[in-house]
Amino acid sequence: MAVYTQPDKAREKIRDYYRDADLWLPQEKNPSWRVFKFDVITDEGKTRFVNIKDRVDSKETLRQHLIQRAPLNVYWMVSNWMNPTKTRGKTYDDEEDGRYHADKNHFLFSDLVIDFDHKNTEEVEKVWDYLVEEKGIKEEDMYIVYSGGGYHINIDQWYRNRDIAHPIEREKHAYKQMQKMCEELDNQGFEFDYKVQNDSYNSPTGDTRRVRKLPQTITKYGNLSEVIPKSNLHSYSETKVMEFQTKTPQNQRTLEELKIKA
């Protein structure tokens, strides 16, 4: 994990950007049902994952948190919750978390996100076309996001089952349906990321509690996460907005780096 050698300067750059940035929130009835999380820089130059203990109901509310926290990465959860400030990242299989979930929160509905941690735009297009032509998903319910290092296909409110009354059972059913879709795409031979791994979490792509990058926010690479029209997918060029000064700790350097140094 890289260490940021000038954390104060990095945070000030981020704050300057967000003071007048054109922010993005999902076009849905109530964005305050979403969970938002940040990767923030500590005074030691490391990063820490934090939950936003607030209902983000507008772009200006989001802007206040962005300026205050100056995050390197901004995430939002795929699912909607009655009380998102009480939602944690553990699965419903944990007994304690299940009790917490039932008492303090209610799962409502969920998007589906297909991850591509590569820049093979032809593969992204193939999956998009399959979802439209074979699964009957409407294109107006889908959009593509460049996440800073790869792509996501997002399907808005993909799971909305009002027939299952109990929130835990509803979430379990949503999870199984997500896994079923991902298994189908995998069996079709598409190249996407069945599991998502980074410094903060390790979860299946089809997970009701996984998070993804929020469009129009800065990533740790200094570029923007952005919504991309499908028509612009193959011609898209990332938007670089800033550079960060980092170093790799001695005990984390790769064998290749050590060989070069030798």
How far is Cα 145 from Cα 215, in angstroms, rounded to an integer? 7
The CATH code of the domain that includes 189 is 3.90.920.10
Q: How confident is the model at residue 194 (pLDDT cuts 50, 70, 90)?
A: confident
Q: Residue 198 has what pLDDT?
A: 39
**How large is the average pLDDT for residues 157-165?**
89
**How large is the average pLDDT for residues 158-181?**
89
Cα 198 to its chain centre, rounded Å, is: 11
Token reading at 64: 């206040």
**How large is the average pLDDT for residues 113-136?**
94
Mean pLDDT estimate for the chain: 84
**Tokens 């941690």, residue?**
117
SS3 (DSSP) at 64: helix
Q: How confident is the model at residue 103 (pLDDT cuts 50, 70, 90)?
A: very low
**How large is the average pLDDT for residues 211-231?**
95
DSSP string, 217-260: EE-TTSBEEEEE-GGGTTT----B-----EE--GGG--HHHHHH
CB 63 within 8 A of CB 23: yes
pLDDT at 206 over 80: no
Number of domains comprising the chain: 1
Q: Who has greater pLDDT, 146 or 93?
A: 146
Parent domain of 144: 3-261
Q: How confident is the model at residue 218 (pLDDT cuts 50, 70, 90)?
A: very high
Percent of all residues in the chain with a pLDDT value above 90, rounded to a whole number? 57
